[in-house]
């Protein structure tokens, strides 16, 4: 379970978040949507402790994450937006490095490994892998330590349709196992497929937080994309 | 094994396979081999190598390390998302970059001398001093690079600052000191000059090497002043302290920024 209350963030004189409240229940998938620069990545980075909120409170599993040593991060699998790894290591060495660092033997996700046909790519230096293949490595890395929380920043960017479908299926099967997921994406149909809830960020505030169906009902639109568009037009107008 | 050592091992494994490190070591290997072949392995060879090292080590370290820190930004964020402390991560990243650079430099200069029978015994001391100073400068300028790259978000600006610092400590500083000497030539300026030299790690390394090579006499009266200043126990310890400060100060600055930074 993830709880953010009154979270604000200021970078210099730029107010990125102006008091965000949202709760992601255990075993639920929440999508974060909003225009570019709305603060989606900042929100995710705060949850991971990569940056600190200016004010407000963030709790994971009921405990505050602020000011601690970050041991809560052992439960989180993070898939960053840009998959860049040490160029001269192989995928297998990268996984070993993280196993070694965490002192956790972490088992590679068999379903993803088979689906992505990644096994024979893991002995090549990461530098020679295509962007899509690196993104597959990125996904496997996020699932390496059986996380109870998944944080995915544009997870399907650069993936071919087949791999993208495999990853989405895996995310949904993990949800049914009780894994909590926070995901950002610009592809609304994808979020509609994955998410139970959606948080719509605009100008540093969560303008809507709730089930997808509630949003489409409220705006009387056929799908999430139309609903978000309607919300954006209404907010701007 | 500690978390720091684990990060160092993985980072170093990546670095030793990279072309830039191989190129850096090869440069010093070829230079040293060439110098030994053309001028023997005596004081002249060490002097030539010293002149080259004092320019190349700071320059290459600043440029490579700064670029490396910017390139590793995304992976650093991934590591920050792991359940490890920021302070351990910083130490690991710093050592994981500086140790391969040190190894490249030491191997590049050391191997040719070893292949040629360990160098002329009378200049072995100077050679060891040269290698030691190169190592110290590498640690120092890697720390400076980390600080630059952690403070400047924009990589072009960061690289500009790195090159600016190299120009300043490597080239301009000497010129400015010379101007000062010329302007104040009517005054007893030996002590201020000594202080100015202590303040620049590259100049300090150069003076220490010249003294070790017994060519200080070439520097005339100033050389004599330096000779006297560095012959006791106070001078050398002060010099060592200043060199140490040039590692510790930027390292602490970088570590502090790394702990607080919003990535």
Which tens digit of pLDDT belongs to each residue from B53-91? 999 999 999 999 999 999 999 999 999 999 988 999 999
B71 touches chain A (CB under 8 A): yes
B154 touches chain A (CB under 8 A): no
Check CB contact under 8 Å for A89 and B72: no
Residue of chain B nearest A11, judged by CA positions = B262
Q: Of all residues in chain B, what percent carry a pLDDT higher than 90?
A: 54
Q: What is the pLDDT of residue B215?
A: 67
- Asked if residue B111 has pLDDT above 80, the reply is yes
Return mean pLDDT, chain B.
Answer: 88
CB pairs under 8 A between A and B: 76
Contacts of B263 in chain A (CB under 8 A): 45, 50-51
- Asked if residue A111 has pLDDT above 70, the reply is yes
- Asked if residue B101 has pLDDT above 90, the reply is yes
How many CB atoms within 10 Å of residue A8? 16
- Asked if residue B92 has pLDDT above 60, the reply is yes
Check CB contact under 8 Å for B3 and A141: no
Q: What is the token pair recorded at A22?
A: 């949202």
pLDDT tier, B219 (very low <50, low <70, confident <90, very high otherwise) = low
**What is the SS3 assignment for A200?**
strand
Q: Rounded to a whole number, what is the distance in Å from the CA of B15 to chain A's nearest CA?
A: 8
Check CB contact under 8 Å for A73 and B10: no
Q: Which residues of A touch B (CB under 8 A)?
A: 11, 45, 48-52, 69-74, 76, 78, 80, 82-89, 93, 97-98, 100-102, 125, 141
Check CB contact under 8 Å for A101 and B82: yes
Query: Could you tell me if B202 and B58 are in contact, meaning their C-beta atoms sit under 8 angstroms apart?
Result: yes
Question: Which position has the higher pLDDT, B135 or A14?
Answer: B135
Q: Which is the CATH superfamily of the domain at A2-236?
A: P-loop containing nucleotide triphosphate hydrolases (3.40.50.300)
Check CB contact under 8 Å for A101 and B6: yes
Q: Which residue out of A81, A93, A97 would a mutagenesis test of the B interface target, given it has the greatest number of B Cβ atoms within 10 Å?
A: A97
Q: Report the residue from A69, A82, A84 with minimal CB separation from B85.
A: A69
Q: What is the pLDDT of residue B8?
A: 94
- Asked if residue B220 has pLDDT above 70, the reply is no
Residue B27 buriedness (CB in 10 A; 0-12 / 13-18 / 19+): middle
- Asked if residue A237 has pLDDT above 80, the reply is no
Q: Which residue out of A100, A139, A145 would a mutagenesis test of the B interface target, given it has the greatest number of B Cβ atoms within 10 Å?
A: A100
Q: Which of A39-53, A188-202, B18-32, B173-187 has the lowest mean pLDDT?
A: B173-187
Q: What is the pLDDT of residue B216?
A: 58
What is the pLDDT averaged over residues A104-133? Answer: 90
The dihedral built from the CA positions of residue B179, B184, B188 and B194, taken in this order, carries a sign that is negative
pLDDT tier, A221 (very low <50, low <70, confident <90, very high otherwise) = confident
Contacts of B71 in chain A (CB under 8 A): 84
pLDDT digits (tens, 9 = 90+) for B138-190: 999 999 999 999 999 899 999 999 999 999 988 888 888 888 888 887 887 77
Q: Rounded to a whole number, what is the distance in Å from the CA of B139 to chain A's nearest CA?
A: 21
- The owner of tokens 């705006």 is A219
What's this model's pTM, rounded to 2 decimal places? 0.90
Q: Rounded to a whole number, what is the distance in Å from the CA of B184 to chain A's nearest CA?
A: 45
Over the range A85-120, which residues count as b (16 or more CB within 10 Å of their CB) and which as e? bbbbbbbebbbebbbbbbeeebebbeebeebbebee
Q: Of all residues in chain A, what percent carry a pLDDT higher than 90?
A: 47
B214 touches chain A (CB under 8 A): no
Query: Could you tell me if A103 and B84 are in contact, meaning their C-beta atoms sit under 8 angstroms apart?
Result: no
**Domains in chain A: boundaries:** 2-236
pLDDT digits (tens, 9 = 90+) for A3-12: 998 999 998 8
Q: Which of A22-31, A72-81, A128-137, A201-210 has the lowest mean pLDDT?
A: A201-210
- Asked if residue B12 has pLDDT above 60, the reply is yes
Q: What is the token pair recorded at B123?
A: 């200049």
pLDDT tier, B221 (very low <50, low <70, confident <90, very high otherwise) = low
Contacts of B258 in chain A (CB under 8 A): none
Contacts of B74 in chain A (CB under 8 A): 80, 82-84
The dihedral built from the CA positions of residue B83, B73, B68 and A12, taken in this order, carries a sign that is negative
Phi, then psi, of A7 in degrees rounded to 5: -80, 125
Q: Report the residue from A52, A87, A101 with minimal CB separation from B84.
A: A101
Check CB contact under 8 Å for B81 and A73: yes
- The owner of tokens 């439960």 is A75
Check CB contact under 8 Å for A100 and B10: yes
Q: Rounded to a whole number, what is the distance in Å from the CA of B79 to chain A's nearest CA?
A: 8
Contacts of A74 in chain B (CB under 8 A): 83
């Amino acid at each position: 379970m993830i709880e953010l209350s009154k979270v604000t963030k200021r970078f210099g004189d730029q107010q990125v978040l102006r008091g965000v409240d949202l709760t992601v229940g255990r075993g639920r998938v929440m999508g974060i949507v909003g225009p570019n620069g709305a603060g989606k990545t900042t929100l995710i980075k705060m949850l991971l402790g990569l940056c600190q909120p200016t004010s407000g409170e963030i709790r994971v599993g009921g405990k505050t994450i602020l000011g601690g040593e970050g041991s809560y991060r052992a439960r989180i699998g993070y898939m960053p937006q840009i998959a860049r790894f040490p160029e001269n290591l192989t995928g297998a060495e990268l996984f070993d490095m993280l196993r070694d660092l965490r002192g956790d033997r972490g088992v590679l996700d068999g379903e993803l490994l088979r689906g992505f046909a990644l096994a024979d790519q893991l002995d090549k230096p990461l530098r020679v892998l295509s962007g899509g293949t690196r993104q597959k490595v990125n996904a496997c890395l996020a699932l390496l330590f059986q996380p109870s929380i998944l944080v995915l920043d544009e997870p399907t960017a650069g993936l071919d349709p087949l791999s993208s479908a495999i990853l989405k299926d895996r995310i949904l099967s993990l949800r049914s196992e009780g894994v909590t997921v926070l995901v950002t994406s610009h592809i609304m149909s994808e979020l509609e497929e994955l998410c139970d809830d959606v948080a719509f960020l605009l100008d540093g505030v969560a303008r809507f937080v709730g089930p997808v169906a509630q949003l489409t009902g409220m705006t009387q639109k056929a799908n999430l994309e139309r609903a978000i568009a309607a919300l954006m037009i209404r907010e701007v107008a | 094994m500690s978390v720091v050592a684990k990060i160092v091992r993985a980072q170093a494994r990546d670095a030793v396979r990279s072309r830039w490190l191989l190129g850096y070591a090869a440069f010093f290997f070829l230079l040293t081999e060439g110098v030994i072949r053309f001028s023997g392995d005596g004081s002249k060879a060490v002097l030539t190598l010293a002149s080259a090292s004092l320019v190349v080590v700071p320059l290459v370290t600043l440029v490579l390390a700064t670029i490396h820190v910017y390139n590793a930004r995304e992976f650093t964020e991934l590591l920050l998302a792991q359940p490890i402390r920021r302070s351990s991560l910083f130490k690991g990243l710093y050592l994981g970059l500086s140790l391969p650079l040190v190894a490249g430099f030491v191997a590049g200069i050391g191997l040719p001398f070893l292949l040629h029978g360990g160098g002329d015994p009378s200049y072995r001391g100077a050679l060891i001093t040269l290698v030691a100073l190169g190592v110290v400068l590498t640690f120092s300028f890697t720390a400076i690079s980390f600080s630059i790259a952690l403070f400047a978000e924009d990589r072009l600006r960061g690289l500009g600052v790195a090159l600016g610092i190299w120009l300043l400590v490597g080239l301009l500083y000497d010129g400015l000191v010379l101007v000062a000497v010329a302007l104040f030539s009517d005054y007893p300026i030996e002590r201020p000059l000594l202080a100015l030299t202590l303040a620049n790690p590259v100049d300090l390394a150069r003076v220490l090497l010249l003294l070790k090579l017994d060519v200080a006499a070439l520097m005339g009266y100033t050389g004599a002043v330096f000779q006297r200043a560095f012959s006791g126990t106070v001078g050398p310890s002060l010099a060592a302290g200043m060199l140490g400060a040039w590692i510790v100060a930027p390292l602490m600055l970088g570590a502090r920024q790394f702990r607080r930074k919003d990535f």
